[in-house]
């Protein structure tokens, strides 16, 4: 399974792209310099990493998302459950709820999700 984990700074970079795409590489370099304090080379290195993961693409100097924010975080969650709980969603929920009780609203929403995905 593909690794969809992001560090804090990579997450900030991804949010910059998702919130403004499509954008030119020049705009992205300027934005990363202003928001993250990065040099041009750092921006291109990180962009290349995201390109390699199939998350963003840099085509003819225009950066755009190949995967939406929601798609990415869904895949990241699936990957986490697969790695940490051998793919067991019940195992994940058991661990998650062992330290915190679910509210009636959360329980209702989970029941709704289960019914919709049977």
Give me the tens of pLDDT residue by residue for the chain, a chain 118 residues long: 577 778 889 999 999 999 999 999 999 999 999 999 999 999 999 999 999 989 999 999 999 999 999 999 999 999 999 999 999 999 999 998 898 889 999 999 999 999 999 8
Query: Which structural domain range is residue 18 located in?
Result: 8-69
Report yes or no on 77 lying in a domain: no
Amino acid 7: pLDDT: 86
Amino acid 54: pLDDT: 92
3-class state of residue 56 by DSSP? strand
Does 64 lie in the same domain as 14?
yes
Does 12 lie in the same domain as 64?
yes
Does 92 lie in the same domain as 65?
no
Report yes or no on 74 lying in a domain: no
Amino acid 1: pLDDT: 57
Q: Does the predicted TM-score (pTM) go above 0.85? A: no
- Count of domains observed in the chain: 2
Report yes or no on 82 lying in a domain: no
Q: HSE-up of 10 (CA within 13 Å, CB side)?
A: 14
């Amino acid at each position: 399974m593909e690794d969809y984990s992001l560090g804090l700074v990579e997450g900030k970079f991804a949010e910059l792209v998702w919130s403004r795409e499509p954008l030119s590489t020049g705009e992205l370099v300027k934005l990363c310099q202003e928001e993250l304090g990065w040099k041009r080379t750092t921006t291109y290195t990180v962009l290349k990493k995201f390109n390699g993961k199939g998350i963003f693409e840099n085509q003819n100097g225009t950066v755009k998302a190949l995967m939406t924010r929601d798609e990415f975080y869904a895949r990241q969650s699936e990957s986490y459950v697969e790695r940490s709980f051998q793919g067991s969603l019940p195992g994940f929920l058991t661990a998650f709820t062992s330290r915190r009780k679910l509210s009636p609203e959360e329980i209702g929403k989970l029941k709704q999700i289960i019914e919709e995905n049977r």
